[in-house]
Amino acid sequence: MYLPRSLISKLYSHLQNTRHPLSPPVLILVALEPDALCACRILARLLKHDYIPHKIQPVAGYNDLEKAGRELVVPMMESHGGSGGVVVCLGVGGMVDLGPLLGLEPEGEESPYSGVEVWVLDAHRPWNLANVFGGFPLEPVNQVSSSYKSRSPIGVSGGAIDRAYNSGRGGIVVFDDGDIEGDLTTERKAYLALLDMPDIEGQDDDDDNNSSEDDDDEDDGDFGNESAHAGQKRKSLNEDDSSDDDESRPRQRRRSNSSSSIVGSPTRPEPRGLLSIRDPGPILSSDPVEPPSGAQPLPAASARALRKRLLRMRRENETVLHQYYKMGSSFAEPISSMMYSLASELGRDDNDLLWLAIVGVTSMELYGRSSAGVAAPVRSGGSGKPSGWFGVRGARLRQLLRDEVRRLNPPEVANGKTVPENNGVIPTTARNPEDTGIRLSPEPKFLLIRHWSLYDSMLHSPYLFSRLKTWSEPGIKRLHKLLAKMGVSLAQCKQNYTHMDMLLKRELRAKLLKYGSLYNLDEMVPSVDTDGKDRAGAKDGWGFVRSWGWRATLSAQDVGVVIGALLEVGRHAQSLEAINPGPSQMTREMEDELELAAQGDEWITRFWEAYDALENIDALKAGLPTAQFLHRAIYRTGTSLINKKQIKHLRAFRMCVVKDGPDVALFTHPAALTKLALWIGEALAEQEKESHGKLSHGGRGTPLVVASLNEKRGVYVVVGTGGGGGPDAVFMNKATKQERQANKDAKTKKKEEARQAKEKIKQDKRAARRAAANDDDGDDDELETESEGSESSESEDDSDDDDAENDRSYGLNKFGNAFQEVVSETSARVRIDSFEHSVVEVKKEDLGGFLESLSMKAVVG
């Protein structure tokens, strides 16, 4: 079930009012990423304020999530001796069926959840629809209430929670950021229709063989082969090919508490070992529905037509859900922003929580997490249209944050006069020793400018890396020439930025604006209008800066970069120690399990370092060298890959492999490898624009696959980044949209002509049958006529839905789906444990075949 955005504080307010000293602590499961980390900090502050005990459990992947469910969540259930309680999932579990995964829907038990309520806040998309429109205990079956809708708890209608809902019985609650009610209307209708649809599998085979010749266009599909009865397990698509059959426990379907059909959701890859991935499509299963007692049986012909009609309706609804799951991955509103909205509704908003939300939102851009999935940004190039991270949606969110900064940080008043706001100078110090406020700043697209020299900050900027081509000697000369035009000597720009000449720092923004356009750097700094003031004081494109007295002044991007580096590298920037196998000879599988466990422990240790650094300015400053170390490595590796021409152009994407060099060990972490892929991807996009005048793949750029060798475990970490796009790309690319509209009109016209021709043939056949039929057949003919008319109307509606679906999936990252298809078709040993499904691990020996098969798949919508 889902909680509408308008009721975001409802469940927390209930938690406040029902807590007592003997209540179990709230369990927080949090992903190892900056956005989830910031959201966790906000929630912890709220819980501490209300004296609500809580426990934070970092979760590295699906394996850890399943372990947490087994060891922490299941003991909370009343049926297992617990007292119930609340589990909060931050950045985890939104794309999988959490009921079975956490052990809340045990096989054979009639009371799922047992008082455990799971709150899910996750920016990953697509949603798991079993969590969104299901995930609650049903009322008992009786003569009045037998359908799914009538057996929903009080206060839950069609999966949506309203004000009459009362917590206590448990369930899974997804916090809606507005997309569920705004965009999933079609999926909601299809899901709920399938829940109450009777099962007719096994009854239509003979009927299809004897059906009339005008039904030849019907396709039975493969759904019947996937159906299973309640309680049965579903076999992996290539379970026989798995190298770990003894460990493979195929995912159970979502258990039904009634005799009606129920639709499942994307299955996740097994978290243990290098296993194959199963089909993410819906799973249908139920027990046959008996007709009501006393009901008159339908004539055979009428019953056959009714079964055909129900089968068609079921397949159409299944298709809607399949299309949703196959659209590709994307990201919605950051969960730190959602958590700040909760604090605001509760009246708890302050500068500390606002800063955490700003850092969480800013970190999404650092990892390329956008409405197009993980993708390199597509810039507007001075066209004036929203560009970069999240496009229109991101621009609105950042403007809301700027408004909040102004509200909570009013301008200073001195001598009865208002002190003017920032006039374009990048702030590097606090205004006074007690200054802890947040300010708006015209941040350039440089990296750690306050903590590096101007030269190093520009050299290690991904924005300048792609546009000045600083991986090459001519690119370095262009950087030097730009600095010379600005009147900055190399000696001066290579000293720490805070020690540079004050006059130069004051004029830096104006000089960057003046000379940036000469080098294709129109977005290097926020622009201004001709009168020198930003539009209505909105300060579009300005960033955020906070001071901690005289101790430090950092931008939100600085904090996001440091927190990310602490999570990916660790404060000491050292690799894992080799594990001594001991006197007995260990198998490769045992060694891999130990290495994997040690890696997970190391990542969780880094989580706590980053968690402390968020509210400890000294710890945050201590992480600056780690961030610089990581980004030097990214620059070196990206430069080496491009200069050595190690980026290959395959059919569907470009590909490069990192397997040697001093920095290989750093890129065994998926997030660090993702940053490297984004650097290279943005550079490739700029090369395409220069050589061809436009981006490939309909203006989205070429997708990129980057693999990095983990020699100790004998696997490659593989990351697939899209070329950009997403919903905002349709808005930005009007030519593409016009072409799609023209294609849509042509298809509609052609389909209408085909429908009219087919309708004429059917009318002739019906007239012939009517002449030879008896009275009983007349009823059947009437039913078939009604069905045909409905089918025609539904077919037209489906055409419109398909076009809308195409717009929604345009440009989305489909690497997750492509990875699943490759593994189901090959014997490649693949493991996905990351909550980001465009990240996989592939056995060293299987990488070649894996990439070859992947090159034939559609990886971007």
Condensed to tens digits (0 to 9), the pLDDT of residues 241-275 reads 333 333 332 233 333 333 222 333 444 444 333 33
One-letter amino acid of 412: E
- Would you state the pLDDT for residue 577? 36
Q: How many CA atoms lie within 13 A of 34 on its CB side?
A: 31
Give the end-to-end CA distance of the chain in Å, rounded to a whole number: 29
Tell me the C-alpha to C-alpha distance, in Å, between residue 511 and each of 425, 440, 476, 536, 556. Answer: 12, 20, 19, 23, 24
Query: CB neighbours of 534 closer than 8 A, spacing ≥ 6?
Result: 526, 528, 540, 542
- 205 part of a folded domain: yes
Q: Are residues 305 and 450 in the same domain?
A: no
Report the alpha-carbon distance of residue 296 to residue 774 in Å, rounded: 21
- 574 part of a folded domain: no
| Count of beta carbons in the 10 Å neighbourhood of residue 746 | 10
Report the alpha-carbon distance of residue 367 to residue 362 in Å, rounded: 10
Report the alpha-carbon distance of residue 704 to residue 722 in Å, rounded: 7
Task: State the pairing for strand pair 124-125/156-157.
Answer: unpaired
One-letter amino acid of 63: N
Q: State residue 733 phi and psi, 5-degree precision.
A: -110, 85
**Four-residue CA torsion sign, 565, 566, 567, 573:** positive
Q: Which residues of the chain have pLDDT under 70?
A: 108-110, 141-148, 200-301, 378-390, 413-423, 528-538, 572-589, 591, 692-701, 723-744, 772-807, 861
| Count of beta carbons in the 10 Å neighbourhood of residue 411 | 10
Instruction: Please check whether residue 371 is in contact with residue 389, taking contact to mean a CB–CB distance below 8 angstroms.
Output: no
Q: Are residues 247 and 388 in the same domain?
A: no
Q: Are residues 792 and 695 in the same domain?
A: no
Structure tokens at 503: 């006059």
Give the residue numbers spanning the domain of 34.
1-289+299-342
- 585 part of a folded domain: no
Convert the pLDDT of each residue in 449-490 to its tens digit: 999 999 999 999 999 998 899 999 999 999 999 999 988 888
Q: Are residues 119 and 179 in the same domain?
A: yes
Instruction: Please check whether residue 78 is in contact with residue 114, taking contact to mean a CB–CB distance below 8 angstroms.
Output: yes
Q: Compute the mean pLDDT over every residue in the chain, rounded to the nearest whole number.
A: 78
Structure tokens at 278: 């199963």
Report the alpha-carbon distance of residue 135 to residue 172 in Å, rounded: 5
Chain-centroid distance of CA 605 in Å reads: 25
Instruction: Please check whether residue 571 is in contact with residue 636, taking contact to mean a CB–CB distance below 8 angstroms.
Output: no
Question: Any idea how long the chain is?
Answer: 861
- Would you state the pLDDT for residue 285? 35
- Would you state the pLDDT for residue 118? 96
DSSP code per residue over 718-739: EEEEB-S-SHHHHHH-HHHHHH
DSSP code per residue over 170-191: -EEEEEP-SHHHHH-HHHHHHH
Q: State residue 498 phi and psi, 5-degree precision.
A: -65, -20
Residue 673, domain CATH: 3.10.310
Query: CB neighbours of 418 closer than 8 A, spacing ≥ 6?
Result: 411, 412
Report the alpha-carbon distance of residue 473 to residue 682 in Å, rounded: 19
The structural domain count of the chain equals 4
Instruction: Please check whether residue 66 is in contact with residue 366, taking contact to mean a CB–CB distance below 8 angstroms.
Output: no
Q: Are residues 723 and 760 in the same domain?
A: no
- Would you state the pLDDT for residue 697? 56
Q: Are residues 162 and 150 in the same domain?
A: yes
One-letter amino acid of 26: V
| Count of beta carbons in the 10 Å neighbourhood of residue 532 | 9
Report the alpha-carbon distance of residue 427 to residue 59 in Å, rounded: 37
DSSP code per residue over 41-96: HHHHHHHHHTT--EEEEEE-SHHHHHHHIIIIIGGGSGGGT---EEEEEESSSTTS
- 636 part of a folded domain: no
Convert 580-618 to b/e letters by CB count within 10 Å (16 or more is b): eeeeeeeeeeeebeebbeebbebbeebbebbbebbeebe
- Would you state the pLDDT for residue 9? 94
Convert the pLDDT of each residue in 806-845 to its tens digit: 567 777 888 998 998 998 888 888 888 889 989 999 999 9
- 771 part of a folded domain: yes
pTM for this predicted structure:
0.81
Q: Are residues 348 and 323 in the same domain?
A: no
Q: Are residues 153 and 248 in the same domain?
A: yes
- Would you state the pLDDT for residue 92? 94
Q: Are residues 191 and 334 in the same domain?
A: yes
Domain boundary among 769, 785, 804: 804
């004036």: which residue's tokens? 384
Structure tokens at 283: 């799973």
Report the alpha-carbon distance of residue 517 to residue 18 in Å, rounded: 60
Q: Are residues 329 and 427 in the same domain?
A: no
Structure tokens at 171: 């369930």
Is residue 774 packed enough to be buried (19+ CB in 10 Å), middle (13-18) or exposed (0-12)?
exposed
- 611 part of a folded domain: no
- 132 part of a folded domain: yes
Segment holding 408, helix H or strand E: helix 391-408
Domain boundary among 496, 529, 555: 555
- 211 part of a folded domain: yes
Q: Are residues 112 and 169 in the same domain?
A: yes
Q: Are residues 788 and 762 in the same domain?
A: yes
Convert the pLDDT of each residue in 771-801 to its tens digit: 765 544 444 443 343 334 444 444 444 444 4
SS3 768: helix
Domain boundary among 506, 526, 555: 555
> Nearest to residue 102, comparing CAs of 91, 117, 90, 82?
117
